[in-house]
Amino acid sequence: MAPPPLLLLPLPIRHLPSARPVYRSVPRPCLPLSFPKRRCLPASLRVQCLADAETGPGGGAPPPAPRWHAALAAAAGMYPAYVTAGAAVAVARPEAFRWFVDMAPGSYTAALGFIMLAMGLTLQLRDFAALLRERPLAMLFGCAMQYTIMPALGTIISRALGLSPSFSAGLVLLGCCPGGTASNVVTLVAKGDVPLSIVMTVCSTLAAVFLTPLLTKILAGAYIPVDAVKLSLSTLQVRFLTPLVHNAVLFLVSFSLGSLTLSPFQVVVAPILLGSSVQTAFPSVVRYVTPFAPLMAVLASSLLACSVFSENFVRLRSTIADASSVNGSFFSGDIGVVMLSVFLLHFAGFFVGYAAAAVGGFKEKQRRAISIEVGMQNSSLGVVLATAHFSSPLVALPPAVSAVIMNIMGSTLGLVWQYIIPGSENETSDKRNA
């Protein structure tokens, strides 16, 4: 018998209570609204923001520079080749530079003014203001190293090599000379702190009126008699010296005692201020001229250095021949020892200057500027003072040889540093690419 079918009866549906929480409005406390004062970003952050803004809306890397910019930079890096070729021409045919030497002192002054103007186009006035505001210790440190490291090295090397009294006095005199304009050009090529290099050159040049005669009297006076008063007067009263002295020192010291600060201002400071002002006032125009500035400065500096060397080579030709006639070779005998001593002096100056700046805690750009400024001397001033105030012509031989060796060594160092990005720039580029 089949089971009876099941009856499905409708059951009453009960609504469950809602699980939603009940929110009660709680009155919010009324707090006084206080707006903070407007604060400005630090200068470093503002510069970083502006640099990031120039990279584009996407924050990517800036557009690559044209190829001709790299070609001009490579041509400026050939500074050692220009100086070497010019020195070879000055030795083989000194009359090749006679056209430039005959127009002196106007040609020397114009060349130095052009170099400073070209360098000023790559700088801005705020760069010098930042130097005076943020790095005053670097200027004092560089000038102090200039007149302590090189004179001491000149004395040590002359005694170590056993140089004759005349050669020792010439090497010490070279070490006591101030920095030259070529150091500014090399610092520009080496991507160093160019404003610091320029300020150190001006300061050491002004201090040379007192420190160069004093240090020469103390250190070189042990070898031959030195009249410090006459050396100081020769540095000041250029008009009363021979035409050679007037031509060689015109771009470094004043025309007379009453215009001591006028000549450095006219030749160094004024062109730099003019170039910086033009760069600030017409940035769009200067943007197309700036890539040519390092090459123009290098070519003008090479012409100036080789012209001064050719002039000194003609005057000291008999002295160089006598010094090299001992063994019948140009690089043997006394001339070879003098060249070795000059090489060691500048090499040690570059190395010790960089090491001292590193120990002092300065950044990479400042280290390069201080190293180049310490290692490169104003050899033309050394030749002038040695010729005018020492009876032996051999005293002028170390500064005369230094005119070529120093420029070749300094420009080679600048070429090496040109392809090594300073640490601060490298970190900045990494942050932008990140």
Confidence category of residue 257, pLDDT binned at 50, 70, 90: very low
**pLDDT at 341 exceeding the cut of 90:** yes
Enumerate the domain spans of the chain. Answer: 66-419
Where would I find the beta strands (DSSP E) of 178-332? none
The mean pLDDT of the chain is 74
What is the pTM for the complete model shown? 0.72
pLDDT number for residue 130: 81
Task: Give the model confidence (pLDDT) of 383-416 as tens digits.
Answer: 878 877 787 888 888 888 888 889 899 989 988 9
Q: What is the average per-residue pLDDT within 309-319?
A: 73
Confidence category of residue 151, pLDDT binned at 50, 70, 90: very high
Contacts of 105 (CB under 8 A, 6+ apart): 246, 247, 250, 251
| Dist CA 243 CA 386 (whole Å) | 15
| Dist CA 242 CA 416 (whole Å) | 40
Given this structure, which CATH class describes domain 66-419?
mainly alpha
| Dist CA 171 CA 184 (whole Å) | 23
Q: What is the average per-residue pLDDT within 88-103?
A: 85
Minimum mean pLDDT range among 118-132, 149-163, 179-193, 399-413: 118-132
Share of the chain above pLDDT 70, in %: 67
| Dist CA 69 CA 369 (whole Å) | 24
Task: Give the model confidence (pLDDT) of 31-87 as tens digits.
Answer: 555 545 555 555 544 445 544 544 444 445 556 667 777 888 888 888 888 888 988
Q: What is the average per-residue pLDDT within 361-365?
A: 91
